[in-house]
């Protein structure tokens, strides 16, 4: 049975009259031109003479704004445009059209002052020097980012403690395991206490316990320093554990921007009723109560529209009486919700809220 | 200035790193030595056939020339045009672009560290070669003094020029051709085949016009003592002029390259 | 080349190997054609490198009519042979051997060993780096130019001995490379050793008798690029002595035999280890 995820409860973005918008994105668009390469000897010879291009819209015009201190998750399947968006916000990529401002800077101007106040951490990409201990690479970063001795020592100690780096930082980076290396890369990226942290697939390729630790670390980071965090992931656990607010991107378009709990309510406005029947009544037909999702050795799972959930549950209890051994009422798994969002499925019955359209 | 502190930190890290690559460094040195020794052997044979003297160069002069050439080419070498393509493709450039430091600085340090590490052994080997081939040095004290600015200019020129070529990696699908072109042009015009004075007239003229001789041949001749006092200012001026031109070229191409890179993504 | 060796064995195997190698060539050709510019540029590079090398030889000869007894036409031919050998090695041997070392390092050698064909031959010819054909073509051209310059003195005998010694030279280099690669069974990372040998091959561009004793010895035995280039050049220039020819033949047979034997030991060791 699929484990049910409980989305982080809480409302969507905090807004106040004096809102401090750290990230503002408007009409951001990124179009790539790609060579078309075909197989077959004939096509290859033809391509010697003439080449064809294809336009790919990686990001098809998106708008959103993020306040200081938020932890926002970018959710989307591979190729959705999440990493591309992050690269534009960190200044590595410049857009085809549209604007974006982070901390008041245009990221792709790549001003030194901007670079000192932000960081982009990309999963398993190494930026540390391979052959020397991380601690020594840190000293180089200290100078590059102009961190004074006292702040450096304090942050160094904090990061070593938070990420449990003590046994790792004096070993050459090449000798560390993937998980250890990622922790050290994290620390390297945060030495200069950036106000904005972009995380691209931070838990990719890590084992479960390391994933949990990284999540805990990001949460601590946000709590202690108030850094604004934007993370992309296709692990639902990351998003669920860290983000109150989620931005869903698919085919370069923004499908949803709001609280995770709201997402579930809008995209999958139903509840799952699981009724366990006693041996005698295992064949009972429960289809009148709702859509049967699965039937498994006396345990029947039904999909029931939210509005009717309470009534149907009461009916089941009343009408089945002693034949009912157990009854549970659950929210749909977040993965299921997300799958529906991406596949464009409309959940049964209720009129669907239009996806937040891109301009 | 903060840049000084950055360099100090980078150099420290660089030396730590280089300690792990002792053998590779020595190998590079071997490559550097074999080519001049081969050509030296050839010229010694040619000189022997002509009674020991060619165009004013005796066997000992050839030996001194190629020894100095090896020394100078080690002092001025740069290899970014070979590695930069890899950096771009691997996304390592992105990591550097995210930091508030021009990527060039990393390679300056890397360059310095390698040279400082390999120089001691190289000097020893070159002394041995000098002795075994009977090298004759016509160096005066002022030659040695003039050598210092000349070799510095030459190193800066070669480094920057190499970076201009490296920057082509932003667009080129095949860097190998650019590298081969540069290497062969150096081979012909920088004096690696023979002292420029022995090259055909038209090649000589081209050598003095193009930047390559100023990267290697010029300091070599100064160190060997093959340059007169009158010629020195012209040589230094030529080096400086080419350096300025190359710096402008690099600045222009780098900026356009990073823009192109940022259009396609790291 | 492998076909030639197989002829010594038996007729059926020839056809089989020829077919196998044929598929390798076709696969590589298709792959390489896809890189359209690469081909043209590769030719250009070859032209540049060989052209400037010839230029260097010409500069030498503006000051003398002989280089240690070698005349200009003879030196041109030698330069052509040098690049011919380089081209031959880089087309056939180098890519395959590099892949082989990778297999040994990754432990994926087993796939090839399971195929029902002589592992040594398969592995040696697997990757035709056709793109390096440019060196070979240029090498041939230069040799042809040299031969033309020598035309008065080229005889049928010298032509035949030239081809034979050229083949021998290639086989000597093959033997060397095979031995080096065999070392990788024990010392997984032998890149440094290979680099040293590559450095020495540069010396093949001049006749081996040019060099001081120790270097001449090295280039004749340990890194046989010296004899691989000089002997064929001597053959076609009519400078080769009977003793040299015989010595070359015997040396080649010994070298290839020893290298193959060494390889078989390494292979046995490797498969024994992973069993």
pLDDT at B40: 93
Residue with tokens 């010594």: C8
Domain A269-331 is of which CATH architecture?
A: 2-Layer Sandwich (3.30)
Which residue did the predictor score with more confidence, B89 or B218?
Answer: B218
The subunits that touch chain A, with at least 3 C-beta pairs less than 8 Å apart, are B, C
The CATH class of A21-265 is alpha beta
Contacts of B73 (CB under 8 A, 6+ apart): B32, B36, B192, B216
- Alpha helices, H only, chain B: 2-18, 22-49, 59-76, 80-90, 92-97, 104-133, 141-167, 175-189, 201-209, 212-215, 217-224, 231-264
Task: Please give the structure tokens belonging to residue B262.
Answer: 């940022």
Residues B47-103: tens digit of each pLDDT? 888 888 888 899 999 999 999 999 999 999 999 999 999 888 887 898 899 999 999
**Cα–Cα distances in Å, from A78 out to A58, B146, B158?**
11, 61, 44
Partner A contacted by C34 (CB < 8 A): yes
Lowest-confidence region among A75-79, A109-113, A124-128, A246-250: A124-128
Hey, are the CB atoms on A92 and B2 less than 8 Å from each other?
Answer: no
CB interface of B with A, residues 60-119, below 8 Å = 91-92, 94-101
pLDDT at A347: 42
Interface test with C, best of B34, B178, B181, B185 (most C CBs within 10 A): B34
Task: Please give the structure tokens belonging to residue C152.
Answer: 């008065």
pTM of the entire structure? 0.81
pLDDT at A354: 38
- Across the strands, what pairs with A59? A30
Whole-angstrom distance, CA of residue A37 vs CA of residue A44: 8
**Cα–Cα distances in Å, from C245 out to A16, A114, C158, C205, C234?**
94, 73, 11, 20, 10
Partner A contacted by C30 (CB < 8 A): yes
Hey, are the CB atoms on C33 and A41 less than 8 Å from each other?
Answer: yes
Helix, coil or strand: residue A249: strand
Confidence of residue B220 (pLDDT cuts 50, 70, 90): very high
Q: Min CA distance, C115 vs chain A (Å)?
A: 27
Instruction: Measure the CA dihedral B49/B50/B53/B58, to 10°.
Output: -10
Whole-angstrom distance, CA of residue B169 vs CA of residue B76: 22
Whole-angstrom distance, CA of residue A64 vs CA of residue A68: 14
Hey, are the CB atoms on C66 and B24 less than 8 Å from each other?
Answer: no
Helix (H) or strand (E) run with residue A293 in it? strand A291-296
Which residue did the predictor score with more confidence, A170 or A281?
Answer: A170
Whole-angstrom distance, CA of residue B55 vs CA of residue A77: 73
Hey, are the CB atoms on B34 and C200 less than 8 Å from each other?
Answer: yes
Task: Please give the structure tokens belonging to residue A129.
Answer: 């020097």
Whole-angstrom distance, CA of residue A285 vs CA of residue A302: 11
Whole-angstrom distance, CA of residue A268 vs CA of residue A349: 11
A20 touches A101 (CB < 8 A): no
pLDDT at A1: 36
Cβ atoms within 10 Å of B205's Cβ, excluding its own: 12
Whole-angstrom distance, CA of residue C187 vs CA of residue C178: 14
| Rounded average pLDDT over C17-36 | 67
Question: Taking the mean position of all CA atoms in its chain, how far away is CA B258?
Answer: 25
Nearest CA in chain B to C212: B41
Sorted by where each begins, the domain ranges of chain C are 2-274
Confidence of residue A46 (pLDDT cuts 50, 70, 90): low
Partner C contacted by A44 (CB < 8 A): yes
Check pLDDT > 90 for residue C188: no
pLDDT at A10: 39
C101 touches C154 (CB < 8 A): no
Confidence of residue B189 (pLDDT cuts 50, 70, 90): very high
Q: Min CA distance, B31 vs chain C (Å)?
A: 5
pLDDT at C193: 77
Confidence of residue A41 (pLDDT cuts 50, 70, 90): low
B57 touches B65 (CB < 8 A): yes
Q: Min CA distance, B255 vs chain A (Å)?
A: 12
Total domain count, chain B: 1
Interface test with A, best of C26, C32, C36, C37 (most A CBs within 10 A): C36
Whole-angstrom distance, CA of residue A42 vs CA of residue C78: 41
Whole-angstrom distance, CA of residue A39 vs CA of residue A86: 33
8-state DSSP, B1: -
Partner A contacted by C36 (CB < 8 A): yes
Closest CB to B199: pick one of C41, C59, C202: C59
Confidence of residue C10 (pLDDT cuts 50, 70, 90): low
Lowest-confidence region among A224-228, A327-331, B94-98, C230-234: A327-331
Confidence of residue C191 (pLDDT cuts 50, 70, 90): confident
8-state DSSP, C5: H
Task: Please give the structure tokens belonging to residue C171.
Answer: 């086989």
Whole-angstrom distance, CA of residue B53 vs CA of residue C108: 59
For residue B259, the chain A residues in CB contact (below 8 A) are: 94
Closest CB to C67: pick one of B35, B42, B132: B42
Lowest-confidence region among A8-17, A230-239, B175-184, C167-176: A8-17
Check pLDDT > 80 for residue A343: no
Check pLDDT > 80 for residue A69: yes
Residue with tokens 């460094």: B25
pLDDT at A12: 42
pLDDT at C128: 47
Whole-angstrom distance, CA of residue A38 vs CA of residue C254: 49
Backbone angles phi, psi at A125, to 5 degrees: -90, 130
Helix (H) or strand (E) run with residue A253 in it? strand A253-259
Helix, coil or strand: residue C150: helix
- Per-residue HEC secondary structure of A82-144 comes to HHHHHHHHHCCCCCCEEEEEECCECHHHCCHHHHCCEEEEECCCCCCCCCCEHHHHHHHHHHH
8-state DSSP, A3: P
Q: Which domain holds residue B133?
A: 2-264
Helix, coil or strand: residue A24: strand
Check pLDDT > 80 for residue A79: no
Hey, are the CB atoms on C33 and A37 less than 8 Å from each other?
Answer: no
Which residue did the predictor score with more confidence, A16 or A336?
Answer: A336
Helix (H) or strand (E) run with residue A74 in it? strand A71-75
Helix, coil or strand: residue A196: strand
Nearest CA in chain A to C36: A48
A241 touches A286 (CB < 8 A): no
ipTM value of the model?
0.90
Interface test with B, best of C74, C210, C213, C229 (most B CBs within 10 A): C210
Q: Min CA distance, C193 vs chain A (Å)?
A: 22
8-state DSSP, B183: H
For residue C48, the chain B residues in CB contact (below 8 A) are: 180-181, 184
């Amino acid at each position: 049975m699929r484990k049910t995820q409980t989305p982080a409860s809480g409302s969507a973005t905090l807004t106040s009259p004096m809102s401090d918008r750290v990230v503002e994105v408007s009409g951001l668009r990124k179009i790539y031109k790609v060579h078309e390469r075909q197989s077959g000897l004939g096509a290859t010879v033809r391509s010697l003479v003439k080449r064809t291009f294809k336009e790919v819209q990686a990001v098809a015009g998106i708008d959103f704004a993020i306040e200081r201190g938020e932890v926002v998750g970018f959710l989307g399947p591979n190729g959705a445009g999440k990493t591309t968006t992050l690269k534009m916000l960190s200044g590595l990529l410049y857009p085809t059209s549209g604007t974006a401002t982070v901390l008041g800077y245009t990221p792709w101007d790549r001003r030194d002052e901007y670079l000192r106040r932000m960081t982009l951490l990309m999963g398993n990409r190494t930026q540390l020097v391979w052959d020397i201990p991380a601690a020594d690479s840190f000293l180089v970063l200290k100078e590059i980012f102009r961190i004074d001795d006292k702040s450096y020592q304090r942050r160094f100690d904090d990061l070593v403690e938070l990420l449990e780096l003590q046994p790792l930082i004096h070993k050459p980076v090449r000798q560390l395991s993937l998980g250890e290396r990622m922790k050290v890369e994290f620390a390297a990226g945060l030495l200069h206490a950036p106000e904005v942290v972009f995380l691209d697939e931070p838990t990719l390729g890590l084992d479960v316990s390391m994933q949990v630790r990284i999540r805990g670390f990001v949460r601590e980071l946000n709590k202690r320093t108030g850094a604004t965090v934007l993370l992309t992931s296709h692990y639902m656990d990351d998003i669920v554990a860290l983000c109150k607010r989620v931005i869903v991107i698919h085919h370069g378009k923004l499908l949803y921007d709001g609280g995770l709990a709201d997402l579930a309510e809008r995209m999958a406005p139903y509840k799952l009723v699981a009724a366990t029947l006693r041996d005698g009544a295992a064949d009972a037909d429960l289809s009148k109560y709702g859509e049967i999702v699965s039937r498994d050795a006396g345990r029947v799972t039904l999909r029931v529209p939210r509005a009717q959930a309470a009534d149907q549950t009461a009916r089941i209890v009343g009408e089945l009486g002693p034949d009912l051994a157990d009854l549970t009422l659950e929210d749909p798994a977040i993965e299921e919700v997300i799958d529906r969002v991406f596949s464009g499925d409309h959940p049964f019955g209720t009129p669907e809220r239009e996806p937040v359209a891109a301009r | 200035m903060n840049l000084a502190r950055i360099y100090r930190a980078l150099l420290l890290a660089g030396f730590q790193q280089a300690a792990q690559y002792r053998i590779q460094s020595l190998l590079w040195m071997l490559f550097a030595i074999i080519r001049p020794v081969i050509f030296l052997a050839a010229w010694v044979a040619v000189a022997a056939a002509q009674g020991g003297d060619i165009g004013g160069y005796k066997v000992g002069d050839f030996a001194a020339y190629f020894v100095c050439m090896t020394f100078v080419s080690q002092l001025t070498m740069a290899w970014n045009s070979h590695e930069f393509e890899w950096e771009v493709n691997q996304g390592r450039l992105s990591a550097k672009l995210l930091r508030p430091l021009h990527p060039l600085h990393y390679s300056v340090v890397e360059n310095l560290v390698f040279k400082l590490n390999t120089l001691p052994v190289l000097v020893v080997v070159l002394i041995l070669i000098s002795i075994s081939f009977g090298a004759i040095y016509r160096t005066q004290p002022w030659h040695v003094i003039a050598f210092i600015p000349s070799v510095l200019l030459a190193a800066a020129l070669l480094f920057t020029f190499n970076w201009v070529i490296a920057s082509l990696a932003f667009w080129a699908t095949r860097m190998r051709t650019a590298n081969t072109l540069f290497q062969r042009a150096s081979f012909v015009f920088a004096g690696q085949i023979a002292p420029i004075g022995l090259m055909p007239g038209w090649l000589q003229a081209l050598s003095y016009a193009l930047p390559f001789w100023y990267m290697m041949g010029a300091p070599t001749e100064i160190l060997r003592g093959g340059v007169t006092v009158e010629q020195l200012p012209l040589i230094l001026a030529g080096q400086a002029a080419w350096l300025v031109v190359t710096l402008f070229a690099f600045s222009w191409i780098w900026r356009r390259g990073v823009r192109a890179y940022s259009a396609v993504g790291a | 080349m492998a076909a030639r060796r197989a002829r010594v064995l038996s007729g059926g195997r020839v056809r089989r190997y020829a077919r196998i190698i044929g598929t390798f060539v076709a696969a590589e050709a298709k792959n390489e054609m896809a890189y359209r510019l690469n081909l043209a540029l590769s030719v250009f590079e070859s032209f540049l490198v060989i052209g400037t090398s010839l230029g260097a030889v010409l500069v030498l000869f503006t000051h003398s009519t002989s280089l240690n007894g070698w005349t200009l036409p003879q030196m041109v031919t030698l330069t052509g042979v040098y690049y011919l050998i380089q081209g031959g090695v880089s087309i056939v041997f180098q890519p395959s051997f590099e892949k082989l070392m990778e297999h040994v390092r990754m432990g994926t050698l087993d796939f090839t060993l399971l195929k029902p064909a002589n592992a040594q031959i398969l592995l040696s010819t697997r990757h035709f780096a056709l793109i390096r054909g440019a060196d070979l073509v240029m090498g041939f051209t230069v040799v042809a130019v040299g031969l033309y310059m020598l035309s008065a003195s080229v005889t049928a005998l010298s032509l035949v001995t030239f081809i034979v010694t050229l083949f021998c030279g290639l086989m000597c280099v093959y033997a060397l490379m095979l031995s080096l690669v065999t070392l990788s069974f024990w010392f997984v990372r032998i890149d440094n050793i290979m680099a040293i040998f590559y450095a020495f091959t540069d010396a093949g561009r001049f006749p081996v008798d040019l060099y001081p004793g120790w270097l001449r010895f090295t280039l004749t035995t340990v890194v046989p690029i010296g004899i691989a280039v000089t002997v064929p050049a001597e053959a076609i220039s009519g400078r080769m002595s009977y003793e040299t020819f015989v010595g070359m033949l015997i040396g080649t047979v010994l070298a290839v035999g020893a290298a193959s034997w060494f390889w078989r030991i390494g292979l046995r060791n490797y498969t024994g280890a992973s069993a």
